[in-house]
Amino acid sequence: MRLPDFWTGLIFAAIGVAIAAYAQTFHVPAGAASPKLLPTIVGSFMALFGGLIALRGWQETKQVALPGWLAAPRQVILVVFLPAAVLAFGLLAPVVGSTVMAVTILTLHSILYGIRPIYALLLGVTLGTLVTLLFIHGLGIPLPAGLVEELFS
């Protein structure tokens, strides 16, 4: 999403100020090395650069260019699907297992990209199971287990 430099600069400047201000709450022990020194410098520079970007783009404050994909429902769903898939995997995989989540995510994602549901399901089951088995048995990574993983263990 293309936003005017004025607003992105202003947002980063505000974050920079917040970082520097929060650093002032750190407890400083006696001695030269203060844990708040670098965060203060980093926050200040972020505020400075953000401010300069905002200043440079102050004449374009109202030139908000809405991206073309917002008018295409399938692309909006594809964009929304990504964080939804990450959240769903993070919250549900420990409950239902990695394979079920992998198959579901692969199938839905493929359908959204335009594959017919039956082929998407076939693809989801094959690749979802293969990649999960590769991580668990090939690389020894203990992915969250569910019913399917218990069958193979």
Partner 1 sequence: MTAVLDGLALVMQPDVLLTMLISAAFGLFVGMVPGLSATMAVALLVPVAFTLSPVAALATIITCSAMAMFAGDIPAAFLRMPGTPASAAYTYDMNDLVRAGRTGDALGMSLVSSALGGILGAIILMFGAPLLADFAINFSSYEYFWLALLGLSCATLVAGDDALKGWLSLTIGLFLSVVGLDFVTGIQRYTFGITNLQAGVGFISVMIGAFALSELFRKATTSHQAHPKPRLDITERPLPRLNSLWQQRKHIVRGGIIGTLIGALPGAGADIAAWVSYAISKRFAKQPELFGRGSAEGVAGAATANNAALSGSYVPTLVFGIPGDSITAIVVGVLILKGIQPGPLVFVNSADMVNAIYIVFLLANLILVPLGILAIYLGRTVISIRDAILYPVILLLCLYGAYAVSNNMFELWIVLGIGILVWIMQENNYPAAPLILGLVLGQVVEQNFMSSLIKADGNFINFFNRPIAGVLGILTLVVWFYPIVTGVVKKMRSNEPINDET
Positions that interact with partner 1 (CB under 8 A) = 1-3, 5, 8, 12, 16, 19, 22-23, 26-27, 29, 31-33, 35, 37-39, 42-43, 45-46, 49-50, 52-53, 56, 67, 69, 72, 74-75, 78-79, 81-83, 85-87, 89-90, 93-94, 98, 102, 105-106, 109-110, 113-115, 120, 123-124, 127-128, 131-132, 135, 139-144
Q: In the bound complex, what is the minimum distance in angstroms from residue 150's beta carbon to partner 1?
A: 18
Q: Exposure of 66 by Cβ count < 10 A (0-12 exposed, 13-18 middle, 19+ buried)? A: exposed
Mapped onto helix, strand or coil, the DSSP state of residue 65 is: strand
CB of 73 to partner 1, least distance (A): 11
Measuring CA to CA, which residue among 104, 78, 79, 109 is closest to residue 91? 104
- Give the three-state DSSP class for 2: strand
Kindly calculate the radius of gyration of the chain based on its CA atoms and give it in whole angstroms: 24
Least distance between partner 1 and beta carbon 60 (Å): 12
